[in-house]
Amino acid sequence: MNDALVTRLVQLLDCVEPFLPPKRPPIDWSSDTAALWVRHPLGGYLVPVSPRDSLSMASLVGIERQREALLRNTRAFMAGRPSNHALLWGARGCGKSSLVRALINDLGADGLRLIQVDRHDLVSLPALVNELRDQPWRFIVYCDDLSFEGSDDAYKALKSVLDGTLTGPPENVLLYATSNRRHLLPESMEDNQATKVVGQELHHGDAVEEKISLSDRFGLWLSFYPFDQATFLEACRYWVTELGSEWGDEAERAALRFATQRGVRSGRAAWQFAAQWLSE
């Protein structure tokens, strides 16, 4: 190889190097239980992170039905039994994200691993799933606050991985998502105008079918609603006592005032009240 060619190759590498993903050591899944997926034009890479908190499944008051359903599904997945991708949808602050985070605290020691993917990075989801395919661990790939706009094509990559490719996701990967929207895509009056009644059957238009088809790929739907007053007070009592204070009539009245002022009754509001109560 002559000197001129070597010089040109070095120049080419100098131009390409800024576009290459940073070189990182591989994640040690024997010690790392959670990671973030970062998209890159040439694929992506995983960044290990520590669990955000020590929240456990048992501490999530008011969503016992959803908690047990997700726990059963996840345990079946870890045991190699049939299990479903899960969509947790509904009112804000009612424990959707907390429920997924608590899974890693409760089941991480049993081999469960959690990877969070931002909605904007879903186009590289097939690359991530392929990277996990031959790992000996069980992975929940998690997308928080998932929703798409009408012109957003990122949902097509998600559809494909869920149930659209020839091979599908590997048996050691399950997808969980949280959203305020049940169907993940905006629904307009114009879409419904193409819906027709044929005989005794309701036939949706193509636009509606396209939007429903994404959420249909999640076999487990768990819905979340604002707490009623009794459930909200139960959650407040749990967090007040858990954080080291006493629960009584004065705390109950303060909790009701807090909910009225905020205009919401939820698990998040209960924790926020408890934190405020202890600081006063």
Q: Would you write out the chain's pLDDT as a tens digit for each of its 280 residues?
A: 576 676 676 666 666 656 666 666 778 898 999 999 988 776 788 899 988 888 899 899 999 999 999 999 999 999 999 999 999 988 888 889 999 999 999 999 999 999 999 888 888 888 888 889 889 999 999 988 877 665 556 666 676 677 655 556 788 999 998 887 776 665 554 554 455 555 555 444 444 455 566 667 788 999 999 999 999 999 999 999 999 999 999 999 999 999 999 999 999 999 999 999 998 7
Contact 122, 149 (CB under 8 A): no
Place of tokens 């047990």: 68
pLDDT at 170: 85
Number of helices (H), then strands (E), belonging to the chain: the values are 10, 9
pLDDT at 207: 46
HSE-CB for 60 with a 13 A CA cutoff: 26
Tokens of 189: 């009056």
HSE-CB for 211 with a 13 A CA cutoff: 20
Q: How far, rounded to the nearest angstrom, does the alpha carbon of residue 139 sit from its chain's CA centroid? A: 12
Q: Specify the amino acid at residue 166.
A: L
The candidate with the shortest Cα–Cα distance to 38, out of 118, 126, 110, is 118
Please report, to the nearest 10 degrees, the dihedral formed by the alpha carbons of residues 98, 45, 180, 58 taken in order. -10
pLDDT at 156: 66
How far is CA 41 from each of CA 20, 122, 123, 155, 242, rounded to the nearest angstrom? Answer: 8, 13, 10, 18, 46
The candidate with the shortest Cα–Cα distance to 57, out of 106, 17, 23, is 106
What global pTM score does this model have?
A: 0.80
**What is the Cα–Cα distance from 208 to 33, expressed in whole angstroms?**
39
Contact 208, 194 (CB under 8 A): yes
pLDDT at 200: 55
**What is the Cα–Cα distance from 217 to 185, expressed in whole angstroms?**
14
Contact 107, 94 (CB under 8 A): no
- H-state helical runs in the chain: 3-16, 64-78, 96-107, 125-132, 154-163, 189-192, 206-216, 229-242, 249-262, 267-279
Please report, to the nearest 10 degrees, the dihedral formed by the alpha carbons of residues 75, 81, 82, 86 taken in order. 20
- Residue 108 DSSP symbol: G
How far is CA 211 from each of CA 117, 187, 189, 274, rounded to the nearest angstrom? Answer: 21, 8, 13, 40
C-alpha radius of gyration, the chain, whole number: 23
How far is CA 275 from each of CA 8, 255, 268, 272, rounded to the nearest angstrom? Answer: 62, 11, 11, 5
**What is the Cα–Cα distance from 101 to 22, expressed in whole angstroms?**
28
**3-class secondary structure, 34:** strand
